[in-house]
């Protein structure tokens, strides 16, 4: 069982989108019982809300259903999850501040490190932009999630 937590700032755009894409990839490969997936945010401003309606509608058009309800990252997450996947440098810095131990810090990785076709170092925040920003998020996250799943599947098969 691999436990992966996707993290962004508000947990209403990028990280719930990453979670939904990963869920679909895992389901399509019949690997549901092998993965536990969740997402969380670094601010609690949107806690209890569903994903941003713009993100949901772009997701829907690409065949994804986002059902996640926003929640903030909590200390227990660093214990429960094997991998904490962030979207940008600001997320990275904040997660390192929150991590209770060195082992916990070692779980933090960047989503874009798993991209196979995009040469990019962060998933741009679409919140204050237009429709193209949301499309861009989906395109980057599809690339990154495929790379992430491949990396976890290879590791898993060796265990
Ligand atoms: P996310 O986007 O981090 O991808 O969920 C944002 C959502 C909300 C805010 C900023 C970014 N906000 O400032 O409320």
Within 6 A (CB) of ligand 1 lie: 8-14, 45, 125, 127
For residue 2, the cross-strand partners are: 35
Residue 157, C-beta contacts closer than 8 angstroms, at least 6 positions apart: none
Report which of 95, 139, 140, 138 is spatially closest to residue 114, judged by C-alpha positions: 140
CATH topology of domain 2-152: Rossmann fold (3.40.50)
Q: How far apart are CA 24 and CA 31, in angstroms?
A: 10
Active site (catalytic) residues: 8, 14, 125
State both tokens at 128.
Answer: 């204050």
Please write the tens of the pLDDT for every residue from 63-81: 999 999 999 999 999 999 9
Q: How far apart are CA 34 and CA 152, in angstroms?
A: 10
Task: Check residue 155 and give its pLDDT.
Answer: 52
The one-character DSSP state at 46 is: T
The pLDDT of residue 57 is: 98
The model's pTM: 0.96
CA atoms within 13 A on the CB side of 60: 8
Q: Closest ligand 1 atom, CA of 46?
A: 14
pLDDT attached to residue 156: 47
| pLDDT tens-place string over residues 98-153 | 999 999 999 999 999 999 999 999 999 999 999 999 999 999 999 999 999 999 99
Over residues 14-70, the pLDDT tens digits come to 999 999 999 999 999 999 999 999 999 999 999 999 999 999 999 999 999 999 999
Other CB atoms closer than 10 Å to residue 156's CB: what's the count? 14
Å from CA of 70 to ligand 1 middle: 11
Atom of ligand 1 at shortest range from CA of 11: 5
């Amino acid at each position: 069982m691999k436990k992966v937590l996707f993290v962004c700032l508000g947990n209403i755009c990028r990280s719930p989108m990453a979670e939904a894409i990963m869920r679909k990839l895992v389901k399509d490969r019949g690997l549901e019982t092998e993965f536990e997936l969740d997402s969380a945010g670094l601010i609690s401003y949107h806690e209890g809300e569903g994903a941003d309606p713009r993100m949901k509608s772009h997701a829907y058009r690409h065949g994804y259903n986002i059902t996640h309800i926003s929640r903030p990252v909590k200390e227990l997450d660093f214990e429960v999850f094997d991998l904490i996947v962030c979207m940008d440098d600001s997320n990275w810095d904040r997660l390192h501040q929150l991590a209770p131990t060195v082992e916990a810090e070692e779980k933090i990785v960047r989503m874009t490190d798993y991209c196979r076709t995009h040469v990019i170092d962060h998933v741009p925040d679409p919140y204050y932009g237009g429709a193209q920003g949301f499309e861009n998020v989906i395109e980057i996250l599809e690339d990154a999630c495929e790379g992430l799943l491949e990396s976890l599947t290879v590791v898993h098969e060796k265990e």
